A and B are shown apart, each in its own frame.
Chain A
Amino acid sequence: MHDLGIATAIAAAHKDVPSGLLPALHGIQDALGHIPPEAVPLIAEQFNLSRAEVHGVVSYYHHFRSAPAGRVLVQVCRAEACKSMGADALLAHAADRLGCDVHGTSADGQCSLEPVFCLGLCASSPAIAVNDEVHARITPALFDAIVEEARSAS
């Protein structure tokens, strides 16, 4: 099925759930990796909302993305507990190693780098998540190994 067809079907499945918009958006992003801007009017129609309202929700939350990420999504925690254990240097290392800025995607489209505010691993800092899998007590060498494994696996 076409991406927009999938998005519409997921929205339709949630339209009668009380406050189903967020679960619908999660469903669409889980299925497609992002929420295509072209799908916004179709989602709005299912929920009997304006396009502006749906766009407002998608753009408000950090979790939702309007463009696909690279196959390897690297999130580096930059909250206080991780900062106290060198998260800033780790983030700089990550940008250097992945070849992209924070919030960016590498030139080959393989890896995306994002900051995250707390993975709940504050006693095992610094922490990262790679494609939703968490890793703690990260050193630059460990970072390289984890990313390399994710690159070759995906």
Chain B
Amino acid sequence: MFKWKTISLSTLLLSVFMLSGCNIKVLNPQGPVAEDQFQLILWSLGFMLFIVLVVFSAFTIILVRYRDRPGHQNHDPEQEGNKWLELLWTVIPIIIIICLAVPTVRTIYALEDPPKQSKDQEPLTVRVVSSDWKWIFVYPEQGIETVNYLNIPADVPIKFRLTSAGSMSSLWIPSLGGQEYAMAGMMTQLILEADHPGTYVGKNANFNGKLFQKMKFNVHAMTREDFQAWAEKVKKNAPKLTKEQYLNILEPGVSAKKTFSSTHLSFVNHVKEPDFAVKHTEILPPH
């Protein structure tokens, strides 16, 4: 439906990016959530380009025509307004805002649920704990846990349930869709989906201290069968997560990728115990 617009606008944008030779992630969605957001962005870009066009051309014409020069006619120093013009440039922005607000609100609500095209799929829940400065992913249904990497099945909505063991962070996988904060003592939700296998970059978007920049991870989207096989292999072969090991992971610092065949949910729920990491790790007391 949006196709011709998509094509013409992407061509325009891409021609700009060709200069730098890169493939802009947000404008190159790899899943339905990112796709919805991309369509909304394109829709808004159309209106924005229209506004730019109007303002810039009016600006240029006025500067050229009414610059102070010999023989300049048409000077009307007492003109103080024009009811119709002012009405026009009040009403048009109102119309534009309505045109933008309606799809925005619709998308805001749509993003609360799994994407329409995967309605028949049972979403996979992944619980995310951000800790300074690494990501911990729990697969409660599979009973497994990973650190600093995320495997997901493609074509299945992933329901992230986010919280934090320390500072506030924001889980962002630009290719799959927009972000959500992970905060201590709270549980937030983000639904994303990849529509084909591939590897994408995930990161923390919210500054949270010294090693913020290192808080990145890879998302591997794989076929449902591969994911199933991987989860079963982990359940069988990976070591169990002990409390001691877990406290070790929570120590401030970066961490290597890790895989466990059990989860930390058996000994702590960070949502209910926001001060768990502060109490049990080597974070320095203030003074």
- Is the A/B pair a real complex? no
